[in-house]
Structure 1
Amino acid sequence: MSSVSQPATSSAAATTTSKRVDPSLNGPLQQAAAANDAARVRELLARGAEIESRGHQGRTPLVTATKNRAVDAARVLIDAGADVNAKDDIQDSAYLYAGAEGYDAILRMTLDHGADLKSVNRYGGTALIPAAEHGFLSTVQMLIKAGVDVNHVNTPVWTALHEAVVYGDGSQKYQDVVTALLDAGADPNIRDGQGRTVLANARNNGQTAIVRILLNHGGAQ
């Protein structure tokens, strides 16, 4: 008799302790994440939506929230255990995208929840490289402090320092980014794919203020 009743008890226990996943809720979760509806995200997760489900372009709900700068929704997802390093079909994760776009609030959350500082985007670059490219000083400083390699070379053979000069306009924000990178140990003499140093690129682009900064930090032609 005990051999008959015991499996039934065990099965009931398993049912009550395991979380049911309801795939029908994954679409609404993506929508709530995009709309920054934190309360709805929390409700759907509690009802059984899959936190790592994939939507448009292979985005997880957290990547969807990040690409919509939905800070409140991202916070709920991260606090619930969403993977900050999960990438979509074009190799963007919440961490990488927040860094690239200067979404510092979300970036800070990803850094506090296990962001992989060595992960790279589809161009083979760390989060620091596009942050420097866009002149996002606070983001650059945050990533430097976190420990991202300031001398990482991406697939186009550029470092963060190269991209701040190649894509920058030499304005004050780019001067500040270049200074922050150099002060953090960025090597001004790493050459790009055409054999050019950062100093050579700065001179070619007429960025006289940045040329002076590079010369003061050991930059060579």
Structure 2
Amino acid sequence: MRASMILFLCLPITAGAQTAPSAAEIAAYDGLHAAAQSGDVSTIRALLTKGAAPDARDPAGRTPAHVAAFASHDAALRALAAAGADMNALEDDRYDVLTIAAVADDPEMVSLALELGNRPDLITSVYDGTALIAAAHLGHHDVVRRLIAGGAPLDHVNNLGWTALIEAVILGDGGPDHVQTVRYLVEAGADVTIPDRDGVTPLQHAKSRQYQKMVDIIAAAVN
């Protein structure tokens, strides 16, 4: 068995390592964190006007912007950003707003985060990945499309030795969502020749899994 496959079998789901606020944490929130969780824009603005710190941290290192992202409150995120909240802040698990939205398959928040200055090339998670790698892993193809349009790096290699394209193949199920993800990446110019640490290319991975639609897309780019 290849070393990369052994590593894969020993890993948790890489993009699923985010930890949203628990019920107990939410119950303990006050101030901006509570307002962000509930999407209460009026209270957010009032608290900020009174001098509340837009980048205050909860015990897990989440800012109100992180909380708004987990709760999918676009207007709350916009209000926080308007007051100077750091859109590129990382919480304790090293996730930013953009990657939180990407994993949640929240395309509108992904676009909003990019609009508000969240960098698409930010290195996130313990795997030194990106929002694009996380979205590709999960087959969130609309998110992938928006991240590509927003300038996300196509060929970043995380500390597992995997690109977004490799993750879409080896961590995907070969179904239509992951096929469309592969199509968007390849059409955008992702380098289909970058192999994993064992020298196995995305095309070879797709062939070994008998993901014929992926094989066709990637092979056309190789040729």
- Give the CA deviation at 1:210: 1.0
Please give the per-residue CA displacement for 1:143-165, whole angstroms capped at 9, x wherever unaligned: 11111111111110110100111
CA distance in 2, matches of 1:172, 1:95: 24
- Give the CA deviation at 1:184: 0.8
- In the alignment, which residue of structure 1 is the partner of 2:207? 203
- Contact (CA 8 Å) 1:27, 1:55: kept in 2 or not? no
Equivalences for residues 52-131 of structure 1 within 5 A: 52-122=55-125, 123-131=127-135
The answer to whether 1:41 aligns with 2:44 is yes
- Give the CA deviation at 1:81: 2.0
CA distance in 2, matches of 1:84, 1:141: 21
- Contact (CA 8 Å) 1:100, 1:128: kept in 2 or not? no
Residue identity opposite 1:151 in structure 2: D
Please say which structure displays the higher CA radius of gyration.
1
User: What SS does the corresponding residue of 1:75 show, helix, strand or coil?
Assistant: helix
The answer to whether 1:212 aligns with 2:216 is yes
Aligned residues: 194
Unaligned 5+ segments in structure 1 are 1-25
Q: TM-score, normalization: structure 2?
A: 0.81
Of 164, 183, 206 in structure 1, the residue corresponding to residue 168 of structure 2 is 164
- The percent of aligned pairs where both chains have the same amino acid is 35
Please give the per-residue CA displacement for 1:85-128, whole angstroms capped at 9, x wherever unaligned: 01111111112222333222222222112222321112111111
Of 139, 148, 151 in structure 1, the residue corresponding to residue 152 of structure 2 is 148
CA distance in 2, matches of 1:141, 1:80: 29
CA distance in 1, matches of 2:104, 2:138: 8
Report the aligned-residue RMSD.
1.6
The answer to whether 1:186 aligns with 2:193 is no
Deviates more, 1:40-49 or 1:174-183: 40-49
Runs of 4+ in structure 1 over 3 Å off = none
- Contact (CA 8 Å) 2:78, 2:116: kept in 1 or not? no
Q: TM-score, normalization: structure 1?
A: 0.82
Residue identity opposite 1:152 in structure 2: H
CA distance in 1, matches of 2:142, 2:53: 33
Residue identity opposite 2:155 in structure 1: N
- Contact (CA 8 Å) 1:78, 1:109: kept in 2 or not? no
- Contact (CA 8 Å) 2:60, 2:92: kept in 1 or not? yes
Residue identity opposite 1:68 in structure 2: A
Please give the per-residue CA displacement for 1:9-30, whole angstroms capped at 9, x wherever unaligned: xxxxxxxxxxxxxxxxx83210
CA distance in 2, matches of 1:64, 1:200: 40
